[in-house]
Amino acid sequence: MSSYFELGPRPSLGYTPNHLDRATAKRSEQAALTVLAASDSARAYVIGGELVVLKQSGGVLEPLFVESDARTLAQVRERVFLGLAHGAARFGYGIDQTSAQELKSRGDVFVSDLRSIAVQGLVASDHLPPLAEAKALLAWHARHRFCSVCGATSEPIEGGWQRKCPACKADHFPRTDPVVIMLAIDGERCLLGRQSRFAPGMWSCLAGFVEPGESIEEAVRRETFEEAGIRCGGVVYFASQPWPFPMSLMIGCYVRALSADLVIDHSELEDARWFDRPSVAKMLKRQHPDGISAPPPVAIAHHIMRTWVEQGAAVFR
């Protein structure tokens, strides 16, 4: 077997799996949530918009705060119940992003965005899924404070997993935006693209939102054609990943390319190219002679590309 298949130990995918017991029955029991929050074992993640606040002591970063400490950091706009960790309650506390920025001047906390925390491995990987859960849910609250039916200010209920309008009684639930992310395969080569916002030299799978009335397979074919002009056929599901930027579910797929000539939509992509398996392997290992690379292991694109390098056409079986 060629050496380019030898990629070493498989890294873990970011923001999953979430080991919290979501304890959905507790959400409607306000008295039970109050007791859980008052417990000595209860802890909270503190998030301000795109920023996460971490405790800092002796160079060690800890994302969980006891409630009293969390509330002294800044005014809490929202508290959401995330679930139970071995019976101990976990909450997400939402503060203003401006307040989170101001905390950077303190020596006992460390403030950074969740993406950087994940990529740099600043906290134990078990914390990433509940952080993603908290960030996405708090982002939904921040964007949906008013009833979309009548415009009145809605109120959070069910531990933060629902908002209710006191005026027209409409119920509102958290949204998750489905996004297909796919690798188009043409024999021994795959299609990768670049967006201008990517890190220098990084190439990745194509991706796009699933539209209303559209299946996953239809979205994969449509997005690949719209962005790169490639007609596609059979679609195979790979895996999914919660992506809290702000609240998406990445649906990873492989798709067979039926054409090869690229017609790039430069309003979507800076560039797109076909890459063979040895080239992608070098990108994954950050050893490509042109200095180009793949997304980091925290992203599902890395795993989609790696599995194709290791398995080739077998990904369609």
The full set of domain ranges for the chain reads 1-143, 144-175, 176-311
For residue 90, what are the CA distances in angstroms to 67, 242, 294?
10, 19, 34
| CA dist., res. 203 & res. 191, Å (int) | 10
179-198 average pLDDT score? 98
Neighbour tally for 153: CB within 10 Å: 11
State the pLDDT confidence band at 4, using cuts at 50, 70 and 90: low
Reported as a single tens digit per residue, the pLDDT across 54-111 is 999 888 999 999 999 999 999 999 999 999 999 999 999 999 999 999 999 999 999 9
Reported as a single tens digit per residue, the pLDDT across 197-250 is 999 999 999 999 999 999 999 999 999 999 999 999 999 999 999 999 999 999
Quote the strand ranges of 70-214, DSSP E. Answer: 78-85, 88-94, 109-113, 155-157, 162-164, 171-172, 177-186, 189-194, 206-209
Fold: same for 1-143 and 176-311: yes
The pLDDT of residue 1: 42
CATH superfamily for 176-311 is Nucleoside Triphosphate Pyrophosphohydrolase (3.90.79.10)
Reported as a single tens digit per residue, the pLDDT across 162-174 is 999 999 999 999 9
Interior/surface letters 29-45, b for 16+ CB within 10 angstroms, e for the rest: eeebbeebeeeeebbbb
12-28 average pLDDT score? 97
The pLDDT of residue 132 is above 80? yes
Kindly report the pTM of this predicted structure.
Answer: 0.95
279-307 average pLDDT score? 97
The pLDDT of residue 300 is above 80? yes
Query: What is the fold of 1-143?
Result: Nucleoside Triphosphate Pyrophosphohydrolase (3.90.79)
Please state, for a pLDDT cut of 90, what percent of the chain lies above it: 96
The pLDDT of residue 3 is above 60? no
The pLDDT of residue 151: 98
Contact 96, 48 (CB under 8 A): yes
